[in-house]
Chains A and B, each alone.
Chain A
Amino acid sequence: MSTIATDQAFMGRQITEAAQPERIRHHLPTHRITYDGQTGQVYKIWLLNIVMNIFTLGIYSFWGKTRLRQYVAGAFKLNKDRFEYTGTGKELFIGFLKAMLIFLVLYLPFMTASIIAPDAAWPLVFLIPFFYVLPVALYSAWRYRISRTQWRSIRFELDGSVMKFAGVFLWRWLINIVSLGILIPYSDIRIYQYVADNTYYGDIAFRFEGHGKNLMAVHLATYSIIIGLLIFAFYGLQLMASSFVTAQMAIAQHDLSFDEALVIFFGNASFFAALTCIIVPFILLPMVRLIYKTALIHEITDHLHAGEIGFKSTVTTFALMKLKLGNFLILILTLGLGLPVIMQRNLRFFAQHTQVRGDLETSSIKQTDSRKPADAEGLNAVMGLDSGFI
């Protein structure tokens, strides 16, 4: 009886020992993250954003985005207390203007050079800085978002250098290409590591102890299946082409009408064989990749620590598959109007499958002012990276 009473007192946030044998080993309580954002509210904010963007030439979007982020952050709850987003529309707007300026400054040399020498190749040199734009934009956006998030009045921070991150990002990108994708897990982990190791909550630093080698087996397995499927699809394309040629030859030889030719083309058994060869890989490819994706989520979550606090993901490939498939269907069936529903599904999924372990009540986490507040994001908005949502 007393166990039940305790559980109810914790409102189900602490999980019974029977359900979580690991808890005994670690002697650490496990906490669930909950998300109680309401789809109706999200739609209200989203639709207001669309309408206001029309009237304000898109300028409202910075304030609209802020409103949505505030609502979403407040809907996440960890151990009775909600998260808070403290960014403002003004910061986003100023960040956007700055990014526009940077973009223009980067773009001018290329534009001038290509007018001076329209047929030459050397103006392309001026496009090199643009390689840096993507990682720089990503990192600055994350830094802004993280530094404007807080829980229990203590701020999160993302330290580190934007240019160093860009270096890591581009270097791993190159390695992925050179290794023909075989070293992708090492790159994924390395990039994540840079972000995790530079993240702080108050005065405690996040540590990440995962390793790319833990993912190699699942990566190589899924990778070879994918290559097999691609060969299969290629074979399908060839079959398709040959059945097309057969139909064309029939037209030429027997002087057929277009309708008659269609009958031959689709009546050809090899056409359907070909179609299967193309469609089956098309459906299976993303699903196979989700197996790796699941392993990656586990690796990056389960080996993340913040002081004494640990994290655990409960994602399964099947659950992830259901989520992604559902999202895909909602997106195409609602012609984009279901976007808030998709967002809600993603956020709920994250909350449902992420656990926090450790003593949250007595730990002595302190606020720190040592790090400077981040500049507002903006480059990603100029590049359309964030596709205007959250």
Chain B
Amino acid sequence: MTLTAFEARFFDGKTAKPHQVSVELHAGRLRISMSGESCSSDWLYKEIVVLQQSVPPQPATLTSLKNRDMRLYVEPEHWSSLKTELPKTAFPALTLSTRWRSLAGYAGLSVIFVLAAVAAGPRLFERASELIPHSTEIQIGKMALDSSINHPVCTAPQGKAALDKLVYMLKQGVTRDIPFNVRVVSDDETLNALAAPGGHLVIFSGILKKADSAEEVAGVLAHEMAHIEMNHPMKSLMRNLGVTLTLHMMFGDAGVLSNTAHFAGLIHQLHYSREDELEADKIGHALLEKANIDPSGLTLFFERIQQEGAKNNNHAYSKWSSLNEYFSTHPHTEHRVNTLKSNATASKNYQQALNDSEWQALKDICSEQTD
């Protein structure tokens, strides 16, 4: 049965007075007559604009181009048949089919955009690190270190001299114009060294305690200096900033999802930082070669750390090591040692990195400390 007439609510857009009207369908027009009054007005189909389709129990909202303040509310039971009568022009942006179609197109474009952002985004943000002037970079590094490292600094003069000598030798292969600011901090328990933006290097005294020769310390130092040479700290800072911003834009207010997304982002970051570590190993190796220091020191040092690790948690270590690598900022030690070994050239005559008394002075650098 086709719809020929129905009752509706009508408002003229000029006053708030409600009108109960009867609407008749004629060819190409709706005839709207006020009940109890003789006057009626015609809405041509081509003038009708559907502002909102009916979502039961809500009526459909119609207006006319003659005066867009007018409203005709069509109840759900009449809407389904009236809808088929109206021409496409009555549904400017809101028809379900065009809306879905544009959404699909929009989603498709966005997927491409997201994929491009994920693939190229971190690298783009890395490039942004080149725009940051050195003075700012040094300032940022200082701020980062001051707020995170509050160990006493080791300052024995002879030890410092030995350290400076190592830095000077290794600096010969560095092309980036940035001053190095290397310090040893007193913490025998920590087997670590770190590079902050702006040439700031920190070596924890645990490294000096564990090392058997100046070559091993030189290896660690070269690795961290390589990070600076490649501008890794600043790049990773910008990369993390970029990933965080992107994720926030994507998942900003999606509650539970945002946690998952940030976890995914973390894995993303870890992947990049492992790449950085392998690159630093390679460049560090080159710095050692250039300084004519035996690069096997770094390899030896890693091997020993690995053996200790194996001793400490023998069974679990071998079982979980591959999983560990996936979730760690540093590549698996065994993997690194193998890579380093494959880079090693046939043994040649390297100079001694430090003589015995210098090496001893370096090991004792923490005999004097300032806070």
Interface residues of A (CB under 8 A from B): 36, 41, 50, 52-61, 70-71, 74-75, 80-82, 84, 86, 115, 118, 151-154, 202, 335-337, 339, 360-361, 363-367, 384, 387-389
Contacts and interface: CB of A to CB of B under 8 A. Distances in A.
Given A153-B13, A336-B255, A57 B136 contact: no
B129 to A, nearest CB: 16
A388 B139 CA distance: 37
A337 B255 CA distance: 8
A297 to B, nearest CB: 26
A303 to B, nearest CB: 23
Contacts of B257: 50, 54
**Size bin of chain B's contact surface:** 35 or more
A74 B253 CA distance: 25
A57 B249 contact: yes
B65 interface: no
A61 B251 CA distance: 10
B69 A75 contact: no
A265 to B, nearest CB: 29
Interface of B: 9, 11-18, 51-52, 55, 57-59, 61, 69-71, 73, 103, 106-107, 110-111, 113-114, 117, 136, 139, 143, 246, 249-257
A351 to B, nearest CB: 14
Nearest to A336: B255
A118 B139 contact: yes
Contact of B61 (A41, A84, A337): A84
Given A81-B73, A367-B13, A384-B253, 14 more contacts: A50-B257, A55-B110, A55-B114, A57-B249, A60-B106, A61-B253, A82-B58, A82-B73, A86-B51, A151-B16, A153-B11, A154-B15, A154-B16, A365-B15
A53 B58 contact: no
B69 A55 contact: no
Contacts of A366: 14-16
19 contacts: A52-B107, A56-B107, A57-B113, A57-B249, A60-B106, A71-B55, A74-B52, A80-B9, A81-B9, A82-B59, A84-B52, A151-B16, A153-B11, A153-B70, A202-B15, A335-B256, A361-B18, A367-B14, A367-B69
B254 A54 contact: yes
Contact of A53 (B51, B73, B113, B251): B251
A57 B249 CA distance: 6
List 4 A-B pairs, minimum CB-CB distance, nearest first. A388-B253, A153-B11, A336-B255, A365-B16
Contacts of A118: 139, 143
A115 B142 CA distance: 13
Given A55-B107, A57-B114, A57-B249, A153 B255 contact: no
B58 A75 contact: yes
B8 to A, nearest CB: 12
Contacts of A57: 110, 113-114, 117, 246, 249-250
A366 B15 CA distance: 4
Q: What DSSP secondary structure best describes chain B's contact surface?
A: mixed
B71 A153 contact: yes
B113 A367 contact: no
Nearest to A79: B18
A5 to B, nearest CB: 19
B279 to A, nearest CB: 29
Contacts of A154: 11, 13, 15-16
Nearest to B58: A74
B147 to A, nearest CB: 12
A364 B15 contact: yes
A47 B113 CA distance: 22
Contacts of A115: 136, 139
A58 B15 contact: no
A388 B16 contact: no
A57 B107 CA distance: 10
Contacts of B103: 52
A361 B22 CA distance: 19
Contact of B253 (A41, A52, A360, A387): A387
Contacts of A61: 252-253
Contacts of B117: 57
A41 B57 CA distance: 11
A387 B70 CA distance: 34
B17 A364 contact: yes
B16 A337 contact: no
A53 B13 contact: no
Nearest to A61: B253
B107 A70 contact: no
Nearest to A56: B110
A339 B255 contact: yes
Contacts of A335: 255-256
Nearest to B57: A36
Contacts of B114: 55, 57
A387 B252 CA distance: 9
Contacts of B251: 53-54, 58
B78 to A, nearest CB: 16
**Which residue of B51, B114, B143, B252 has the most chain A CB atoms within 10 A of its CB atom?**
B252
Nearest to A364: B15
Nearest to B67: A153
Contacts of B16: 151-154, 202, 360, 363, 365-366
Contacts of B249: 57-58
